[in-house]
Structure 1
């Protein structure tokens, strides 16, 4: 059988004018691009997903130098929405005001023949508002244990023995009453303007041994920020 070889045809002059004859290239023509899925698209990423996880501690370098309270308990810190910085310790060492308040209540219960006095637990909070943009009155603290039980700071004015006048006694001795008024006034006089520093003692009927969370109300009961143990990230 004969082999028929068909050579490139350069025929019509018109066709030659447009295309000419050329030797076939030895480089294969590029294939049209085909969209393919990247292997990474079907393979789980080895890089962990980034999530906004709140820190477990407050960096110590955010606490102004010298801002502290006495005691050996765990140091907690917070920053208010307006820039005030505060610290306290849990458990906290009794302040002079705490001792005077408990002594007054014990005397009031005795003088007025009231039953059921139990000394209050106290937490002293030191606040630096020199960089703050608003006032601070340290309205309160709420401590939460690992089971979610809340322990709120309380006002001594709600105690039945606070500021009792002793009017049931001959002569109407108001010594205990006046003492309570003085203590109440000195305890409530905490109002830090921007640029000021100060300390306030808060009272609790009970304090959990190892709080899981602590919420701070720096200026009224509507603003709440979470405190964190002070340490290194």
Structure 2
């Protein structure tokens, strides 16, 4: 069952990445390069803020996963430049790196955590937890302010004239990353109802919901839990806490 899950995830991320590659090539072919002033109209700017806040969330995970600062920097630059193409490529690579044993037993656990944290138990820092809450809360409020300001100054985003080719491509890019985050939310939530509610909020409110969800997960940690426990579902979080307590 777990092996089939890994196979399905590989197929999903390869397919999503391919869709974005095709979208990018098609949009460049029909509308040229995106580096133009006429594309920075208010709702495009708001969409880009939304997009890059989600990219920041994914980049934090990539930095955590990578053991080398050089590879971290390279992957983050690729995330900034190519968005969900890089997201899907990175996750597909991580899935292909899983051993047969890891694929057969809790593949999401092994996908999300770096190797070091699977073997060793670490205590966290109350200061780090506070900083994480502040950073992600600030990003959420930044997007909320951007959304409210753009609504007040430019009206509803549901207007046909806003759907220029590069806006459509940006939205596809954005929602592929939302799909990635939704898979994580589905893994974390023990209740299907909670998962559906949060995924719906992600779809409707983008990075506001992303940051809200992440901050909520940080509040579920104790002050001295390692921050990486935020990645795990309740079962794995409890097991890791037990291991940390045993070691220390």
Of structures 1 and 2, the one with the larger relative CO (CA 8 A, separation 6+) is 2
Task: Kindly indicate which of the two structures has a greater share of residues assigned to helix.
Answer: 2
The answer to which structure has the higher strand fraction is 1
- TM-score, normalised to structure 1's length? 0.23
Structure whose CA Rg is larger: 1
TM-score normalised per structure 2: 0.22
